[in-house]
Amino acid sequence: MGSLDSYLPIFFMVVLGIAFASLSFGASKLLAPQRPTSAKEAPYECGIVPTHEPARRFPVRFYLVAMIFVVVDIEVIFLFPWAVDSQSLGRFGLVEILVFAASVFVPFIYLVANGALDWGPIKRVRPVESQPDRTSSSTVRHVGPPNDQAA
């Protein structure tokens, strides 16, 4: 046991959390009405009948992000043991960690240069074709009693 003792409160909290959630669900089951209809159970679609199945395929960028995340996250986790002992490791530890950081950062720069972390098409401002005859008097139709500049 020994070091596991300090996890006792966490274990208690897990039990309490699960009990709280299950008891709430139980109470809700007793108190709430149960009148399911097929319309209620249909996927939400703002009130209209859904015509498309939910997409099963995703832009590959999400997978790319997940993979790059794994690399960066592993780097972060490997930094922690050094961070705790950084004082006693001193200059040696710093040089080691600089080399380690560089070995992750150089591929990261390569990925960025390849556009691996860019999203969607490049945003551009569309040129506005100027139409001098389009003014508020030509596009807004005035209703009501005719005035001096009736359209």
Site for other proteins in 29-58 (CB under 8 A): 29, 31-36, 38, 40-46, 50, 52, 54-55, 58
- For residues 93 and 82, the answer to whether their CB atoms sit within 8 Å is yes
Binding residues for other proteins, rule CB under 8 A, total: 82
Cα dihedral across residues 136, 137, 142, 148: positive or negative: positive
Told to check if 107 binds other proteins by CB under 8 A, we report: no
- Judged by CB under 8 A, the residue of 57, 60, 119, 140 near other proteins is 119
- Judged by CB under 8 A, the residue of 48, 49, 124, 131 near other proteins is 124
User: Closest Cα to residue 75, out of 107, 100, 112?
Assistant: 100
66 vs 140, beta carbon nearer other proteins: 66
DSSP state of 6: G
51 vs 131, beta carbon nearer other proteins: 51
DSSP state of 122: P
